[in-house]
Amino acid sequence: MRPIREMMEQTYDRGLENLIAGETGISKIDGDNGKLWYRGYTIEDLAEHGSFDEVSYLLIHGELPTASQYERWRKDMENWHEPPEEAMAVIKTLPDDTHALMLYRTMLSVAACHIPQGENTRLDAQWRRPAGILGWCSTLAAATICHILGKEFNPFNPGQSFSANFLTQALGREPTEYEIKAFDVCMIVQAEHGLQASALAALTVISTGADLGSAVLAGMGAVSGNLHGGAIKKAFLNLLELKSVDEAKAWVNVKLNEGYRFPGFGHPIYKTHDPRTKILEPYAKKLLENKGEELLWDIYQTVRDGIESKLGEKEIFITVYGVTGLIYHALEIPVGSFPIIFALANQTGWMAHCLEYLSEGKMIEPGAIYTG
Amino acid sequence: MASKFDLFDKDFDWRSKQVEWPVTTPTSQGLSGVIASETKVAWANPNTGELFYRGIPVQELADSATFEEVAYLLVEGKHWTKYPEEFQSFCFRLHRVRQMPVEILNLIAAQPADTHPTRLLRAAVSALGCFDIIPHDNLKAHHHWEDVWIISQVEALVGHIARYRKGLKPLISDFRQSLAKDLLYMILNTRPTKEQVKLLNLLWILYADHGLDAPTFTGLVVGSTKADPYYNIVAGLGALRGPLIGGAAERVIRMFIRLRDANVARAWTEGMLAKGYIIPGFGHRVFRQPDPRVEIMRKYLPEFAKDPEQRLLLEVATSIEDTASFYLNPKGIYVNINFYSAVLFHFLGAEPEMIPCFYAVGRMAGLIARVREYLKNNRLYRPREKYTGKTDRTYITMEER
């Protein structure tokens, strides 16, 4: 985000809703028509043709990489695939039943004690960091999931894509080509989404002159919250409890009458279908079919249609949080770890926002009206 | 009907009986002029420079109250003398949780000793959350804001980190002692004097709340997603230590130590000003007059400058202040809290790098008060941006780029 240069009068609601906090060249969200662009490319275009390795470069640097830029970007990420030993070791000292995202957070915050020249926050140093952060985070996130699954941690394979490596390490097995593509698309469509709470937290931290890693840790704090990344887990658990299509229908009706706020449904910006869900649904369907879990897909459809047919007029539709759980589940990623994947993808956008802000941004310090 | 506020009007003092949302305000860079919450916790009068916690002038609190009392006042919104039993139970809850699992002490000891202490503190707080948040309840983990123990846990962790850096063996916190006494005992390795305890209480009180500055605003944003306190503090510590904010005190004290002589300091300051550089420890976003917290600290400076080394440091500081004030005061720029707090923290035996950690303990009180207040009427933070970048591009293969 870049600051708006002139002072302007604005009308906004609680939670800074409708406030234009600044200008950006990273992503455009058209909430009325359900469209999302990264750097001027539609999300559908990038999901179909691009890879996360390219899209992460695009988000941060503004252009799709040329062959040599791509080579360097991949090499940078690869050079950082091995986080400090202390960070890898800490997981064994924490209680067995700790939440996955807390394990991951702790590994990252230990890793942050070992950043080479961590206190150097000059612009050039900050710009060198994203590849390293993606590299470390990928290995640490995979290690967390692998630890929870109780599998053997596979070595890093330099020739593989970001997503292929991540799945191999996290799941402790060779993923199929289709699984890799599905996961990669998940990463691409969740890599950036404007100034959501996580990005705003990251931006506030970077605005104090802190290092990029500290900003990413702040973004992750927001993801942990029930109202942000936590919704992925809750939405999926709701589906998992339903045993048949009929039960799903009945449950939706009961909950609709109760006025229940369905997790994974309704987005503050999209007044229509979230474009990311449309991209992900075919992958979710096929992955579930491959696993013989067609019933879960049918239940999902029933719940989605039941809710949208009633609440669609109130502009409440399924969001990306409502569908990604199906893909993660089909990939055998444990439920507790769902928010980790979201954070791993989404941090790309936080970093892009932070770097965009750094060159001219002032310290973020809004005010509060005293009513006491 | 939206409430309209002209927040850049010099006389508008940021108070209102009620706020009708949505609001209309003039907004500028860094979200200045933006109303991010309503509060009953604290108020700084931008026109006079007075500061109040829950309606009580901060001078009054600084001179006579303990940090525990002010924490209770900020968090619960009640005066400790009116609710003696409740206050006692508050202190009990606060003091009894300072024993750290051995895994946490091992975690600290496993990192290089020259790691910046705020990074160690962040890692330790993160690990502690794994022990303290009951498994399987994370969907309601934000209820942990009802507990206040994170204040004393941060205090104990800061003590352990300070000891580790000095090569001292871990010490078990004494749950009967006040936070200030416990921490001083940990860092000094001997019983602190009454004056030292009073001074640390005072510094924590002055740092306890300061509106929605970057660390506290980070806390509100993360809190608005219903994250638990540990995530929140891991996030906020990044901002608290930022070179432009808590990190400034660290820079200030290094500058004093380096200059070593009042005349050198004067010449250096004049040189800096002539080149148009910023003097660390000067300037404030809201106050255009002396910061009341600085005036309070100033009183205590001579009392603590005991040995020649300390007196010299104070001379250096005073010389920089006098020189810079001559040029900067007419522009409404005065020394800020980081300038003399750095000196006082140094007098208490804190290393420069440790200062943001010390300051963090005090800030926990204000953070808890503000997040709790916001959660009572929560709304997820979600501002927008205006897109000004490229449009209508289509994917081309790498060979064609």
pLDDT at residue B1, as a whole number: 64
Cα B224 from Cα B215, distance rounded (Å): 14
Residue A173 burial class via C-beta count within 10 angstroms: exposed 0-12, middle 13-18, buried 19 and up:
middle
Give chain B positions within 8 Å (CB) of A270: none
A299 contacts A245 by C-beta, under 8 angstroms: yes
pLDDT at residue B136, as a whole number: 55
Cβ within 8 Å, pair A368-B37: yes
Neighbours of B103 (CB within 10 A): 16
A223 contacts A101 by C-beta, under 8 angstroms: yes
pLDDT band for position B135 (cuts 50, 70, 90): low
Backbone angles phi, psi at A37, to 5 degrees: -125, 140
| Average pLDDT for chain A | 95
**Bridge partners of residue A42, in order along the sequence:** A37
Mutate to test the interface with A, among B15, B130, B144 (most CBs of A within 10 A): B130
A263-295 residue pLDDT tens: 999 998 999 999 999 999 999 999 999 999 999
B22-51 residue pLDDT tens: 999 999 989 999 999 999 999 988 888 889
Cβ within 8 Å, pair A365-B212: yes
Give chain A positions within 8 Å (CB) of B336: none
pLDDT at residue B143, as a whole number: 72
Cα B374 from Cα B123, distance rounded (Å): 26
- When CB atoms are compared, the residue of A221, A225, A227 closest to B234 is A221
pLDDT at residue B242, as a whole number: 86
Residue B376 burial class via C-beta count within 10 angstroms: exposed 0-12, middle 13-18, buried 19 and up:
exposed
Q: Cβ contacts of residue A25 below 8 Å, gap of 6+?
A: A2, A39, A62, A356, B387, B388, B389, B390
pLDDT at residue A138, as a whole number: 97
- When CB atoms are compared, the residue of B18, B214, B225 closest to A208 is B214
- When CB atoms are compared, the residue of A97, A113, A228 closest to B119 is A113
Sheet holding B56-57, edge to edge: B42-44, B51-53, B56-57
pLDDT band for position B139 (cuts 50, 70, 90): low
B246 contacts A37 by C-beta, under 8 angstroms: no
- Domains of chain B are 59-245 (1.10.580.10), 247-347 (1.10.230.10)
Give chain A positions within 8 Å (CB) of B391: 28, 37, 40
Cβ within 8 Å, pair B234-A18: no
pLDDT band for position B322 (cuts 50, 70, 90): very high
Is a pLDDT exceeding 80 seen at residue A227?
no
- Give the max Cα distance, chain A: 61
- Domains of chain A are 36-224+336-358 (1.10.580.10), 230-330 (1.10.230.10)
Helices (H), chain A: 43-49, 52-61, 67-79, 85-90, 100-111, 123-127, 129-149, 162-171, 177-189, 197-206, 212-224, 230-241, 245-258, 275-290, 294-311, 320-330, 338-358
pLDDT band for position A16 (cuts 50, 70, 90): very high
pLDDT at residue B140, as a whole number: 65
The ipTM (two decimal places) reads: 0.95
Q: Is A67 helix (H, G, I), strand (E, B) or coil?
A: helix
Cα A65 from Cα A43, distance rounded (Å): 17
Neighbours of B173 (CB within 10 A): 25
Chain A: closest CA distance from residue B83 (Å): 20
CB pairs under 8 A between A and B: 406
Residue A192 is encoded by which pair of tokens? Answer: 């950036």
Cβ within 8 Å, pair A365-B31: yes
DSSP string, A183-209: HHHHHHHTS--SS-HHHHHHHHHHTTT
Residue A157 is encoded by which pair of tokens? Answer: 């394979």
**Which of the residue ranges A9-18, A202-211, B45-54 would you say has the lowest mean pLDDT?**
B45-54
Is a pLDDT exceeding 90 seen at residue A105?
yes
Closest-approach residue (CA) in chain A for B129: A102
pLDDT at residue A268, as a whole number: 86
Is a pLDDT exceeding 90 seen at residue B267?
yes
Closest CA to B250 of B162, B158, B118, B367: B118
- When CB atoms are compared, the residue of A37, A214, A370 closest to B43 is A370
Cβ within 8 Å, pair B389-A24: yes
A307 contacts A265 by C-beta, under 8 angstroms: yes
